[in-house]
A and B are shown apart, each in its own frame.
Chain A
Amino acid sequence: MAIKYTFQGLLIYMAMAAFLSAFLATVAGRRKAGQWLFMAGFCASLLAYVYRWIDVRHVPLQNLFEVFLCLGMVCYPISVVGRRVLRIGGQWADMLIAAIVLFPAGFKFHAEPQHLPPALQSWLFVPHVGVYTLSYIFMAMAAFRAAVHLCTAKRAAVVDAILPPEQATYTLIAIGFPLLTLGLILGSIWGKRAWGDYWGWDPKELWSLASWLVYVGYFHWRHMFGTQYARINSLWAIAGMAAIVITLLWVNLSRLFPGVHSYAT
């Protein structure tokens, strides 16, 4: 736990405060205020991201600090797409997710700029990590709806304009899954160019494959049973998110799995 006494840190804390207030305002029924605060948080996080970009002079997706900063920034746009295009409700969850993912960037990871090592100097670097970042937020939003579904399955009020949580989960996963697949494949192609193998059996690769397979399993399960066992559908979605969190964090933070991705700490 380390507080960042820098301009960069200030922007991150402002964004977190705005996201949290947006969440509180929304659950307190002040939806309009919540929306404004959500947008304000987005502006602060966008500023923090652009500031970082100028500071390090490459797209800031190199280490976990930068990835989490990016995760916090993309929550708002994805939430807007979810609401306007996909009829997904429950925006309070997206505000909470934005605050949560900014937490490690603000308090946990070091922000000291590093030189880009040769292995990361590839045109595949930005698409690979960027696409993963987007898909992770879709999956996180899906997992929240799944949790809501599990908690409220019996008494969910059906509002016409928005999808009920179980279907919202499915829709979010359906949109996030192609991005997840693309991230996996771009990583594989990059591995081939940088290290000689398109698949190296590295722990991080294997965890990302496992996460992807959980969603493949989810689709097939839902194809076979539909909403007959709706709660199990939601459990799949939560299991997928758990696997993603492990892929993203545990492999880097714990020294359990040494591998080529260790530089990404």
Chain B
Amino acid sequence: MVRLKRSILWACLIAIAVLAVLSVYGAFLGADRAQAFFNSVPVVIYWGAFGVLLAAGIAVLRRLSWVPSLLLMHLGCILILAGGMWGSPLGQDLQKRFFGTERIRKGQMPVLEGTAENRVMVADSNDTQELPFSIRLRDFRIEYYEPGDLYIQSRNGRRWKLPAEAGRTQALGENLGTVTIQRAFRNFKMDVSGDERIAYDAPGGLNPALEVMIQKPDGTTARRYVFLHRAGHGNPNDPLVMSYEQSPRDYVSELEVVRDNQVVASKDIEVNHPLHHGGYHFYQHSYGQNQMGEYTILMVVSDAGLNIVYTGYAMLIVGVFWHFWGRRLWPTLRSRQAACAPVGVSGEVPNGTG
């Protein structure tokens, strides 16, 4: 028995070390190849063996099942492994073969504004599969941080950034002069009559631009218009390159779930706020525009195994804090309060402590 226990402990140590080494190896592969690697048959066998080892440990090593904190964290690890394997490509394949469950593991779904869609382009294949319900896109929009920034770059590579608001000024040093933002347009328009050009903000529409005045060191001035997200066609002899940028604050898709012509759910999704419906999560993934209009690209991910993994997480966290903080830090703090004197934390060798 002692030998069996010893062997399990050694096997466990080796299993942990092997996983650490594999993780480092995987880091050199990059995410896509690492994913394929960790789902390859030899590694899947390793995952299974790890789970069995944990279970054997709990069965054979008495303290693992008797000390609740230890039990929680080791059981938690088993659940995380099990949930991960249940939701993995291989796990889903096996479920399809044995239980006939037809589930999309992961895929992308472009939805045109104003239309409903239930076809999903399945990841890692050329297949299209249908969901038992449709997703309608009411509206897609990008929200930006206001007011944006004007970037100025000199030919020798110096860069300045200033908020894109009228009245802002930036001195660029002796050789380059000073830049002032004179006006900020929401919808820039220009009327040309003869030699005269008049820039103005037209109602409606969207064509953000900045009017910039450059005061050169020799006393002359020059006026420039810089348009949002459009690189200017600068004269190559011009000493300054300018661009007007706004960073996105949010990508929002207003979605409705439609079953049998009835809207059964709706949610405005953003990055970090997916829609959860019918065993799938829908994520804001990308967007685009074609001749039919604007569209959003949703990522569709099955939530198979997710609850098992999250339960495992909860057990692991509770177990670890209970084991190390609850049994060490807490009694120490309490006895300190009682006696107002430092009392030992069990830093001694944990063999048989408990």
Contact = CB atoms under 8 A, between A and B. Distances in A.
> In terms of DSSP, what is the predominant structure of the interface of chain B?
helix
A85 B321 CA distance: 17
B347 interface: yes
A209 to B, nearest CB: 5
Contact of B316 (A84, A85, A181): A181
Contact of A200 (B31, B249, B342, B350): B31
Contact of B328 (A175, A213, A257): A175
A260 B329 CA distance: 36
Given A122-B272, A181-B317, A206 B309 contact: no
B38 A223 contact: no
Given A195-B283, A198-B306, A86 B24 contact: no
B228 interface: no
B248 interface: yes
B121 interface: no
A12 to B, nearest CB: 22
A223 B350 contact: yes
A257 B28 contact: yes
Nearest to B309: A198
Contact of A193 (B247, B274, B320, B350): B274
A85 B332 contact: yes
Interface size class of A (residues with CB under 8 A): 35 or more
Interface stretch (A33-41, A65-73, A99-107, A163-171): A163-171
A86 B345 contact: yes
Contacts of B198: none
B116 interface: no
Interface string A191-224: 0111111111111101101100110110011111
Given A117-B248, A118-B250, A202 B281 contact: no
A234 to B, nearest CB: 14
B350 A220 contact: no
Interface stretch (B12-20, B93-101, B174-182, B215-223): B12-20
A119 B34 CA distance: 23
Interface residues of B, number: 61
B349 A201 contact: no
Interface in B1-31: 9-10, 12-13, 16-17, 19-20, 23-24, 26-28, 30-31
Interface in B285-329: 285, 299, 301, 306, 309-310, 313, 316-317, 320-321, 324-325, 328-329
Contact of A201 (B35, B328, B329, B333): B35
Contact of A121 (B26, B271, B299, B333): B271
Contact of A203 (B27, B106, B320, B347): B27
B260 interface: no
Nearest to B26: A206
B271 A115 contact: no
Contacts of A221: 13
Interface string A227-250: 100000000000000000000000
Nearest to B38: A201
Nearest to A164: B347
Given A177-B324, A178-B321, A163 B347 contact: yes
A2 interface: no
Nearest to A203: B27
A192 B28 CA distance: 23
Given A168-B347, A223-B351, A256 B272 contact: no
Contacts of B325: 175, 178
B165 interface: no
A84 B336 CA distance: 9
Contacts of A4: none
8 contacts: A86-B332, A167-B347, A204-B27, A213-B19, A216-B16, A220-B12, A223-B350, A257-B28
Closest 8 CB pairs of A and B: A167-B347, A118-B271, A226-B349, A201-B34, A213-B20, A203-B27, A210-B23, A171-B347
Given A175-B324, A177-B324, 9 more contacts: A161-B342, A168-B347, A192-B281, A195-B283, A196-B106, A200-B35, A213-B23, A220-B9, A223-B350
